[in-house]
A and B are shown apart, each in its own frame.
Chain A
Amino acid sequence: MAQQFGLGRRKFLVYGSAALGTSLLIKGCAPATQTGGGGQTPAPSGNPIKVGILHSLSGTMAISEKSVVDATQLAIEQINQAGGVLGKQIEAILEDGASDWPTFAEKATKLIDQDKVVAVFGCWTSASRKAVLPVFEAKNHMLWYPVQYEGQECSKNIFYTGAAPNQQIEPAVDWLLQNKGKKFFLVGSDYVFPRTANTIIKAQLAAKGGETVGEDYLPLGNTEVTPIITKIRNALPDGGVIFNTLNGDSNVAFFKQLQGAGLTPDKYPTMSVSIAEEEVQAIGVEYLKGHYAAWNYFMTVETPENKSFVEAFKAKFGQNRVTNDPMEAAYIAVHLWKQAVEQAGTADDLEKVRQAAIGQTFSAPEGPVKMFPNHHISKTVRIGEVGEDGLFKIVYSTPQPVDPLPWNQFVAETKGFACDWTRTDVDNPGKFKAAGA
């Protein structure tokens, strides 16, 4: 039988070793580590300050996270060009989490132990954050996390610059109740973020006179949404609100088939919390036009800070690129960290930086933000409608930035709990019963 292969064992060994040798040779020639940030400008004095960037550069999350890496590097480059931090340049060490949660934990360990970085900027999915959380807590290190998330977490070692639920989901539900109707159908992917988010939404609707008429969860990557559409039609025969927490590819299937089924945005407006400018391009404007999304930042926000942010980003990465909410939050994170380091007078003493970070304010592209004692920032909440050009038309915006509440105040288990890392009088500053609650 082996003769049929035309490849005897000896020959196979010869080929194999030859191929292996060649590949090793090629690997040896390739550039070893990629370093970003202030490559061009010479360091003014002393050793550079090392920070880590930890995102998926490969795998299914790559393109979303790659754009966040770009925004992080833009911020670092801008700071370096303006003279750096404490007179030193920032050197960014880029690691690839490869859309694989154990790899994230491994790379976080490597950045902290081997590269001796003083802060890490990174992670996108809640799954990757939950994977690196024990690493940062065990080593008492520091992560800056730039994506909106489901809340119900408050770590001393993480600074969250994306929205907590009360800065995105809750205002979106309030806005829908006032403008679009009382009956809600909840659609989400079948994993931690949508299920937690929907628990919050249901509790909020119950408290505010809305009604949850149905909910359904699609396995990640599944594209067969016919049963869900029937359910929506049966539960909402005369139209109503669809709250969408689907993630990734399922969104494409959902919006394509929603249109085919005749559920148009005038009768069935859909509010999404994980569709931003980049995803609109990928799904197709013709399927999304007229639907809504809630974020803190849209590319169309009219502030002078945003104008220069978008211009600088396009100048560096290309005119056809778009900016979105997680990118902006990543950009904020670097600047807040820099301010904290400068106030603390040191980048290496993490405890001092942590204390100095609380109370920092920054004129962000989305508007003014402030770091709270619970390691989350205050954020302006906006609701946008997808327009003809694929960008969002802002239809609502909170007049003031909303203070962050990591522990949800509608869900019974976390109602009345607070997080305050400046408190020394409570056993667990990460989660304690607030006075008066």
Chain B
Amino acid sequence: MTFLLESVFNGMSIGAVLLLTALGLAIVFGIMGVINLAHGELMMLGAYTTFVVQNGFRQLGEGWFDAYLLIAVPLAFGVAAGVGLLLERGVIRYLYGRPLETLLATWGVSLILQQLVRSISWQMTLQIALFCLLFFGGRWLLSKRAIAPRWQAWVRPVLLVLSVGIGLTAGFVAGGAVGLAMTKPWFGAQGVDVTAPSWLRGGVNLWGVQFPFVRLFIIALTAVCLVAIYLFLLRSQWGLRIRAVTQNRSMSACLGIPTETVDALTFALGSGLAGIAGCAISLLGSVSPNTGQNYIVEAFMVVVVGGVGKIVGSIVAALGIGFVNYVIGSGLMTRFLEPQTALFDFFEFFASTSMARVMVFILIIAFLQVRPAGLFPQKGRTVDA
């Protein structure tokens, strides 16, 4: 009994992390058909947001520190959703219906975000801010005036060179004048650590099973996110619009649904969920520029196994993969088998964390041979994803 409870709980706690990381991806991939390879980096931004909030609260004192998660979760959602919105407006909206280009573009974005986090400093912030101010402000100012047609082609390049030049120079001058405080990266390449508030450290022992508080928190957070998404998609007006656009974009547009806004909103929602996932994983491990990379592959596995476009599928797939991962990796399979038999040796061989991953991959590949569209394939004629 204890043993069963322990397996279910641990499998579920791995599954909850997988589900939380895959949820945003499932929405963006399932509803919009966009393969977002920068999803992991949006998680990373959520994790860094948690780190920053934690440091802020640490200044306030021990009593306040315990409350930082209450702010960190919504803020991580907000930051990731904001960056997701920028990403959608700046890049992805030009690429709808072209999966390969989206894939490459979001991969590029993921690399940019990783490097940005490694090297961002006050100097760099100043440079970027100055550049944006000069370039976009300049464009706005010039758009108010009439310019002779033969100069028009040169306006933007000249503006670009000028604003890049001024921005960079100002940054270097300021860096030289102020010194290390200006040029030192905020986070750097090395991982930083998020300390759990004191009420999340440790765990409780019930019926002989240890329940770590962090795991319970993540399971609860995942449940809350699921319920919120369910209510949003099925009960709210925007949810209705999102479902309508998913089913038939042109007809929805004819009926007056602002499809572009719906796209932006859906993408921001998926990104925001990534931010929450980042906040959750920062409680489990360290936060580094590569954080997202460690989760993205597993998140995609969950989405693919579950069946694209089905959130229920993602839930079942995440819990299933989590459970299999746990049972194989912890060597529980060998408990029921006679030692020195072929099957025992087989499971003994796979009973390590790295080998369990191999085994899970094999199982997924085998499964996709039988059901290529996943556990819960989309029914109907419109499916061509």
List A residues at the B interface (Cβ < 8 Å): 4-5, 10-11, 14-15, 18-19, 21-23, 25-26, 29, 58-60, 62-64, 99, 190, 215-219, 221-228, 230-231, 233-234, 248-250, 252-253, 256-257, 259-262, 282-284, 286
List residues of chain A with CB within 8 A of the CB of B325.
224, 227
Q: Which of B14, B94, B153 contacts A14 (CB 8 A)?
A: B153
Q: Is the interface of A mostly helix, strand, loop or mixed?
A: helix
A350 CB → nearest B CB, Å? 34
Residue of A nearest to B286 (CB): A252
Complex contact B286–A18 (CB within 8 A):
no
Complex contact B353–A21 (CB within 8 A):
no
Complex contact B353–A249 (CB within 8 A):
no
Q: List 12 A-B contacts (CB under 8 A).
A: A19-B164, A22-B165, A58-B118, A215-B352, A223-B284, A224-B325, A226-B330, A230-B326, A252-B286, A253-B286, A259-B201, A286-B201
Is B179 close to A, CB under 8 A? no
Chain B 303-329 interface residues, beta-carbon cutoff 8 Å to A:
325-326, 328-329
Complex contact A230–B283 (CB within 8 A):
no
Complex contact B294–A226 (CB within 8 A):
no
Q: Report the separation of the CA atoms of residues A257 and B212 in the bound assembly, to the nearest whole angstrom.
A: 8
List residues of chain B with CB within 8 A of the CB of A259.
201-202
A76 CB → nearest B CB, Å? 21
Q: Report the separation of the CA atoms of residues A218 and B293 in the bound assembly, to the nearest whole angstrom.
A: 16
List residues of chain B with CB within 8 A of the CB of A10.
153
Query: Contacting chain A: which of B190-198, B260-268, B367-375?
Result: B190-198
Complex contact B189–A63 (CB within 8 A):
yes
Complex contact B286–A224 (CB within 8 A):
no
Report which residue of B156, B284, B288 has the largest number of chain A beta carbons within 10 angstroms of its beta carbon.
B284
Residue of A nearest to B212 (CB): A260
Complex contact A284–B353 (CB within 8 A):
no
B86 CB → nearest A CB, Å? 17
Residue of A nearest to B10 (CB): A226
List residues of chain A with CB within 8 A of the CB of B10.
226-227, 230
Q: Report the separation of the CA atoms of residues A166 and B349 in the bound assembly, to the nearest whole angstrom.
A: 30
Residue of A nearest to B214 (CB): A260
18 new A-B pairs (CB below 8 Å) besides A228-B329, A234-B330, A262-B202?
A14-B153, A18-B160, A19-B164, A21-B161, A22-B164, A60-B190, A217-B352, A222-B294, A223-B281, A224-B14, A224-B353, A227-B326, A227-B331, A233-B210, A234-B331, A252-B193, A259-B201, A283-B286
Q: Report the separation of the CA atoms of residues A333 and B6 in the bound assembly, to the nearest whole angstrom.
A: 51
Complex contact B160–A227 (CB within 8 A):
no
Complex contact A219–B354 (CB within 8 A):
yes
Is B13 close to A, CB under 8 A? yes
Complex contact A19–B189 (CB within 8 A):
no
Is B203 close to A, CB under 8 A? yes
Complex contact A249–B210 (CB within 8 A):
no
List residues of chain A with CB within 8 A of the CB of B188.
62-63
List residues of chain A with CB within 8 A of the CB of B161.
18-19, 21-22
Q: Report the separation of the CA atoms of residues A216 and B164 in the bound assembly, to the nearest whole angstrom.
A: 51
Given A227-B353, A228-B353; A282-B286 close (CB under 8 Å): yes
Complex contact B191–A227 (CB within 8 A):
no
Q: Which of A14, A228, A256 contacts B285 (CB 8 A)?
A: A256
Q: Which of A5, A218, A226, A233 contacts B94 (CB 8 A)?
A: A5
Q: Report the separation of the CA atoms of residues A217 and B210 in the bound assembly, to the nearest whole angstrom.
A: 23
Q: Report the separation of the CA atoms of residues A226 and B322 in the bound assembly, to the nearest whole angstrom.
A: 10
Complex contact B356–A19 (CB within 8 A):
no
Q: Report the separation of the CA atoms of residues A260 and B195 in the bound assembly, to the nearest whole angstrom.
A: 12
Complex contact B286–A15 (CB within 8 A):
no
Complex contact B353–A218 (CB within 8 A):
yes
Is B205 close to A, CB under 8 A? yes
Given A14-B153, A252-B285; A221-B94 close (CB under 8 Å): no
Given A224-B14, A226-B13; A261-B286 close (CB under 8 Å): no
List residues of chain A with CB within 8 A of the CB of B210.
233, 261-262
Is B17 close to A, CB under 8 A? yes
A238 CB → nearest B CB, Å? 14
List residues of chain B with CB within 8 A of the CB of A58.
118, 189
List residues of chain B with CB within 8 A of the CB of A261.
203, 210, 212
A358 CB → nearest B CB, Å? 36
Is B157 close to A, CB under 8 A? yes
Is B168 close to A, CB under 8 A? yes
List residues of chain A with CB within 8 A of the CB of B195.
284, 286
Q: Report the separation of the CA atoms of residues A225 and B285 in the bound assembly, to the nearest whole angstrom.
A: 10
Report which residue of B94, B192, B210, B285 has the largest number of chain A beta carbons within 10 angstroms of its beta carbon.
B285
Q: Report the separation of the CA atoms of residues A62 and B115 in the bound assembly, to the nearest whole angstrom.
A: 14
List residues of chain B with CB within 8 A of the CB of A248.
191
Flag B287-309 by CB within 8 Å of A: 1 or 0 each: 01010011000000000000000
B368 CB → nearest A CB, Å? 22
Chain B 334-378 interface residues, beta-carbon cutoff 8 Å to A:
351-354, 356-357
Complex contact A249–B201 (CB within 8 A):
no
A226 CB → nearest B CB, Å? 5
Q: Which of A18, A64, A216, A225 contacts B352 (CB 8 A)?
A: A216
A12 CB → nearest B CB, Å? 11
A32 CB → nearest B CB, Å? 15
Q: Which of B326, B332, B353 contacts A216 (CB 8 A)?
A: B353
Complex contact A60–B290 (CB within 8 A):
yes
Is B39 close to A, CB under 8 A? no
Report which residue of B10, B168, B191, B192 has the largest number of chain A beta carbons within 10 angstroms of its beta carbon.
B191
Q: Report the separation of the CA atoms of residues A433 and B325 in the bound assembly, to the nearest whole angstrom.
A: 46
Given A19-B164, A22-B161, A257-B212; A226-B193 close (CB under 8 Å): no
